[in-house]
Structure formats: C-alpha cells, structure tokens
Amino acid sequence: MLKKVLFLLLVISTSTLGSQVQWADTLIGFSSEFNYKTAPVQYRAKQTLGSPSVLPSFGSSPCAWASDKPNGGSEWIEVGYTNPQQVAEIYINENYNAGSVKEVLIKDTGDKFHSVYLDEDVKPLKNGRLLKIEIPLTNYLVKSVKVLLATSIVKGHNQIDAIGISSTSNDYKVTINELEGLNEIETENLGAKINSPYDELCPVISPDGKKLFFTRQNHPQNVVPKNQDIWLSELTDTGFTTAKNLGAPLNNKSNNSLTSITPDGQKATLLNKYLPDGTTTKGLSEALVSDSIWEVPTEIKIDDYYNDNKFGEYYLINTGNVLLMTVQRKNGYGGKDVYYSLKKEDNTWTAPASLGPVVNTASNETSPFLAADNRTLYYSTSGYPGFGGKDIFVTKRIGDSWDNWTTPVNLGKYLNTPRFDAYYSLPASGDYVYFVSYRKDGYGEADIYRAKLPKELKPNPVVLVQGKVFNRKDSSYLSSKIVYYSLTSNKPVGEAVSNPQTGEYKIVLPAGDNYGFSANKVNFLPVSSSLDLGTLTKYEEKNVDLFLVPIEKDASLVLNNIYFDVDKATLRKESFVELDALAKIIKQQPSIKIEISGHTDSDGSDEYNLNLSLNRAKSVTEYLKSLGVSDKKIVSKGYGESNPIAPNTSDENKQKNRRVEFKVVEFKK
C-alpha cells in the first residue's frame, strides 16, 4: 500500500513537520524486496513512500520495505519527489534492524548523483532509529534520494519505513494523529461481576446500553472449558449483573463469539458457521430470538466469501443492511483489511468490497465497529503512528459510498496503551466506550473496561426510537416488520422486528435527515410515523407506539407521511415510499375497494377547502393507479373542513385536520 501524507479532515493536532519535510512519493528502483506470498503488498519497496507509518514506536512492520537478502550482501533503494527542492536535511526511518545505512546519494534535476553521507563503520543498533542527515543547503534542486545498505551487519531483514527531505534544519518528530486538548479520560474496570481470572474478550454493548455480551476464554463453566463461550451481563439501576453463560444453542463444543446485536434485540451475528454435530467451521452465522429464546444459528451466505487469515472480525451495522468485516483477501492492501458487504433482497450478501486505502494499510486491521450514526468507524490498526502494538482509530464516512473516509485519528493515550488495543463497542448514546485492555489493575490477563467519551470523540447524535406495536382492534401485541426510510431521498435506511411477546421494537435514526417509519404485517393496514432530525444536536430517546389496523370493512387510518406543496394538490416525493407500500397491499387483496379522502382545516372558504381536499385525494388516487392499482378498487372524495378530528383552535390541531385518509369500503376474505 502507498503510505499517504496525513491530511486531516477532522479537527486534530498536526506534527511539527509543517510543510517543510517532503516525503518520497515515487519509487524509482531497488535491489530486491521481501516476497511475502500471503499478502503480496506487505514489506514491498513501495511501502517506503509517504510519511512514516511506524514512528514514534519502532519495530518490524509490513508497512515498511524489507530487502529479500537478510544477513548478507548490499541492498539499495531509490525514491523520488514530485517537487524537486533544495535540501539541507534528509530523514530515513529505519524502523527495524537499524544501523546498516552505508551511503546516501541525492540526484539533481540534471540526473547527477551527489554523495552526502558515507559510513565506513556501520554498526547494528538494538532498536530502530530516525536517521537525520544534515548537509549544507544545496545550490541545486534534488529530485531523488538513493540509500545503500550493508545488510550483512544485521541479523534478519532490515526495514526502511520512509525517506524525506527538507530545505531547512528541523528537530523533526512525528506526533501521533490525535485530537488536541483532550483532558484525561478515566477508565473503569467493570469489576468482578464481569471480569474474572480468565480472559474476557470482544465486548458488544446493545444499542440501548442495557445488555453487554462478551466472550470468555478458558472458564470452567464454558461448554468446553479451554474454549471460548458467549456470556451476558445486564445493566440495572444498581449496575451490571453477574455475567451468565448464554448456553446452547449459541455456545457449543467449539469457540463461540457474538459480534453484533441489532437495536431491536431480535438478531445477533456470530463467528463461524454452526454445524449439526455441535461444532463450527470458518464463516459467519446469525441467530434470531423466538419466544425470548435464541434459535439455532444459521449461516450468513456471502458471495465469493473467503478469508486467507486465521482470524476475522465482523460487525452488522444497526440498519441491518451492511456487514463490515476484517478478512484477508487476494485484492487487499496487506494482511486483514476492512471490507463491507451489502444485503440483497434474498437475504444473501454481496461479495466483500474494500473500504479503501485510507482505512486499510499494509498492516493487519481488526475489530471494526460502526457507531449508530452510520458514519463513525472505530477500528484497530498498527498501520499508522500510534502508542505501540495496535491502537484504536476513528474515521468518518464521507457521503453515501463505503470507500471514502476521513484520515483515521488515534483515540489518544488515555484509551490506547503500549500493548494491544482493540474491540471497541458503543451504545447508541455514545456516552461510554466498552473495550478490552491488558492492564495491571485487572482481574486477569484481559479484562473489559469502559470509559466515558469526551464529546470530541463521540459519534454524531442519534435518536433511539422505541415503543410497542399493537392490534388497534383489540390492543394485543403484534410481531411486525418495522421499515424506516429517508423522506428526503426516498431510500430505505433499515428495518427491525417487534417482539411477538411484548410488541416492543427499537430503531436508531441518525441526525441530519427526515425519516418515515412504518409497521407492516400481512392482513393489516400499515401504520406510519415520521421524525425530522435535521437539526438534532444531542442524543435523544423517543417513545412511539404503532397501532396496526386489521384489513376489514370500514377499517381506516390516516396516511401520515403524505406531503403536498403549500395550498396545492401536487404530491411531494416524500410521499412515495408510503404510497408504494400501500399500493402493494391493495394489489394483494383481490376483493377490496377503498376510499381515499382529503380533509382540511377551517382556514379559507368552504368551497376552496372542498376543492383542495378533493384534488389532493385525486392526486393520491392517480399515483396509486400509476403503480398498477385498478381503478375499480379505488375512489376519491373530498370533505373539506367538514370532518375535523381536533378543534381548529391551534396550529397543532389544524395540522391534524389537514390529512389524507384511507378507508376500506368493501372487503371480502
């Protein structure tokens, strides 16, 4: 992968290099490169391009060039610069097995080489180094740098991460790409009810923040003690409960791990494909809840799925239609990269596609988590400068595509440590982050912690919409599909399912759009509601109950998400999604006749209101006919202001009276 000069699209600190150091952007030639066959871009010569990936920590990295001849011979690499410049300093980041740089040559625009560094007594160094070579400011422009190595003096592969030039004298240091001005973030070990002397891994907090799923390894209460099982702790008014093993069928004789839970709590994704003999194989599964009991997991089928790595991580985003994964594939940028798959109408998934070179590096990426705003991605990598090992970074999606992201930002020294840091999970509120860490104050090797996130690190605000779905006729609970969509673009956003025992549903709506959502069930008229979140600035929770109407004679409902231009009968595009669903239901019923009626408030003359209401009803009718609804099944009527459902004494009540209604006037089963 071509390492990139960091340009920051979030508000973050910059390094002291300013615009004075120009990092190489062209690979001119090299003697050899290490052929790492399982990931053909790792350790290659082009990894020297761009700004350093490994500083300020040193160590072996697939984001650096390694020659193919360790312990012997001479090696060289030459890199170029788009903008030739005068040079006073040269920087060579020897991130691993340093000390073998024997000579450095610079080439002017006339293609003449000049030797500016020669070390006849090269000696191996214990750690890496950023070699700084100071020379008198050249009176010519430099377009390339050639580095010659005496590789025989080090044991194993030597590596070079980056080569830069500067026209001024600098005390250059790479600063980690992190937010400025953050106060200390206190971390909290979740205690003995969750953590144990054994390893607690892969926390997944439910979007409502009330259930914490995690993986526990080597615990004597696991199905097979030496393996990994899924455990659950629930948040109450007094804190988290003592964790319990979820048992069968989610836990079996193999390693088990839950990777995500939907906002409605009705579906989970799980590592591996579950087999009838109680074992698993590589792949991914999902499990549904029925009568408050988990069903046997079934395979998630992904086109052209394979993973050339022993490990893989997965996350189903809250909308349920995009699956993120870190897997190793032939077209990748390095080891494991972050990919995405889209859900198809037949409930299978498209072939994995990469999130692109801003997110992915030649190193291994791991543990992707997309916040409830559908924009903010947290993931772990060692492909950018960090505090050691793997660090958690955050990046935001640009636009509606999945391969355009802002430059990743390190979450900082209070959340990242010199050791391995990964597996971040946030509720929809974004208040707390849950993560795994290996710290001295733990109960075991790996414990689960949480920290209260400062506003600078939080995702964009969302609304958690929750409520119950009822049968309006007898107030019984219903299991119904909840579909939510953008009224601005008329595009679907996601779906959920209400619980058949309690009628409860939950969906998450990100800020910045106007949403419609509806409950849909066979033999019922769909009921809809809407929320305009264009100006939302903080996390909120809203309760909206939905009452489905059985299809029978005289059944009626208000079409809530129907919109017209002011004082006109012209349908706005925001109305189409609800009318499309309504047309589908009408066409499915062979013996039904409906009335579409228009109503107004009391403002204006009786004649004006009557005509406006009739014309609006006709607009709805004509649109339904355009979708294939027979004109024998539908009639339009206008009632003007004659049938108010609220007194016309306030703007709110007048809004209720300005409506379009749907009524079943004839029906036979």
Q: Is the peptide bond before 510 cis (omega within 30 degrees of 0)?
A: no
pLDDT of residue 9: 30
- List C-alpha distances in Å: 437 to 16, 240, 380, 622: 31, 19, 13, 61
Residue 382 has pLDDT above 80, yes or no: yes
Distance CA 93, CA 164 (A): 9
pLDDT of residue 352: 97
pLDDT-derived band at 594, boundaries 50, 70, 90: very high
Contact assessment for residue 28 and residue 2, using Cβ atoms and an 8 Å cutoff? no
The structural architecture, per CATH, of the domain 461-550 is Sandwich (2.60)
Q: Which residues of 386-400 are buried (b: 16+ CB within 10 A; e: fewer)?
A: bbbbbbbbbbbbeee
* DSSP structure class, residue 575: G
Q: CA 588 from chain center: how many Å? A: 37
Residue 454 has pLDDT above 60, yes or no: yes
Q: Quick one: tokens of 477?
A: 């609970």
Write the pLDDT tens digit of every residue in 223-254. 999 999 999 999 999 999 999 999 999 999 99
* Helix, coil or strand: residue 556: strand
Residue 89 has pLDDT above 50, yes or no: yes
pLDDT of residue 11: 31
Average pLDDT of the residues of the chain: 91
Selected from 3.40.718.10, 2.115.10.20, 3.40.640.10, 3.10.20.90, the CATH number assigned to the domain covering 187-456 reads: 2.115.10.20
Strand-pair category, 540-543 with 462-471: parallel
Strand (E) or helix (H) holding 423: strand 422-425
pLDDT of residue 72: 62
Q: Which residues of 107-146 are buried (b: 16+ CB within 10 A; e: fewer)?
A: bbeeeeeeebbeeeebeebeebebbebeeeebeebbbbbb
Greater model confidence, 276 or 378: 378
Q: Quick one: tokens of 56?
A: 């300020």
Beta-carbon contacts of 563 under 8 Å, excluding residues fewer than 6 positions away, are 487, 571, 572, 574, 575
pLDDT-derived band at 155, boundaries 50, 70, 90: confident
pLDDT of residue 408: 95
Q: Quick one: tokens of 96?
A: 């691993």
Using a pLDDT cut of 90, give the percent of the chain over it.
Answer: 74
Beta-carbon contacts of 161 under 8 Å, excluding residues fewer than 6 positions away, are 47, 48, 52, 53, 54, 55, 61, 63, 64, 65, 93, 94, 95
Distance CA 654, CA 643 (A): 12
H helical segments located in 534-588: 576-588
Strand-pair category, 366-370 with 322-327: unpaired
The structural architecture, per CATH, of the domain 21-166 is Sandwich (2.60)
Write the pLDDT tens digit of every residue in 383-431. 999 887 788 999 999 999 999 999 999 998 888 888 777 889 999 999 9
pLDDT of residue 6: 31
Contact assessment for residue 46 and residue 2, using Cβ atoms and an 8 Å cutoff? yes
Residue 16 has pLDDT above 60, yes or no: no
pLDDT of residue 159: 93
Distance CA 232, CA 214 (A): 6
Assigned superfamily of 552-669: OmpA-like domain (3.30.1330.60)
What count of residues does the chain have?
Answer: 669
Distance CA 502, CA 264 (A): 12
pLDDT of residue 70: 66
Q: 32-46, 97-111, 219-233: lowest mean pLDDT where?
A: 32-46
pLDDT of residue 54: 85
Q: What are phi and psi of 57, to 5 degrees?
A: -85, 155
pLDDT of residue 71: 62
pLDDT of residue 437: 86
Q: 4-18, 48-62, 152-166, 621-635: lowest mean pLDDT where?
A: 4-18
Distance CA 67, CA 59 (A): 16
> How many C-beta neighbours within 10 Å does residue 224 have?
14
pLDDT-derived band at 570, boundaries 50, 70, 90: very high
Distance CA 433, CA 456 (A): 13
Q: Which residues of 540-567 are buried (b: 16+ CB within 10 A; e: fewer)?
A: beeeeebbbbebeeebebebbbbbbeee
pLDDT of residue 320: 93
For residue 402, the number of C-alpha atoms closer than 13 Å in the C-beta half-sphere is 17
Residue 615 has pLDDT above 90, yes or no: yes
* DSSP structure class, residue 448: E
Greater model confidence, 54 or 486: 486
Greater model confidence, 296 or 17: 296
pLDDT-derived band at 502, boundaries 50, 70, 90: very high
What separation, in Å, do the N-terminal and C-terminal C-alpha atoms of the chain show?
63
Q: What are phi and psi of 508, to 5 degrees?
A: -120, 125
Residue 542 has pLDDT above 90, yes or no: yes
Write the pLDDT tens digit of every residue in 296-314. 999 999 999 999 999 999 9
* Helix, coil or strand: residue 147: strand
pLDDT-derived band at 18, boundaries 50, 70, 90: very low
Extents of the domains making up the chain: 21-166, 187-456, 461-550, 552-669
Among residues 146, 91, 83, the alpha carbon closest in space to that of 113 is found at 146
Per-residue pLDDT averaged across 644-664, rounded? 91
Beta-carbon contacts of 160 under 8 Å, excluding residues fewer than 6 positions away, are 48, 64, 65, 77, 92, 93, 94, 95, 147
Write the pLDDT tens digit of every residue in 596-606. 999 999 999 99
Distance CA 668, CA 53 (A): 70
pLDDT of residue 3: 33
Distance CA 426, CA 458 (A): 9
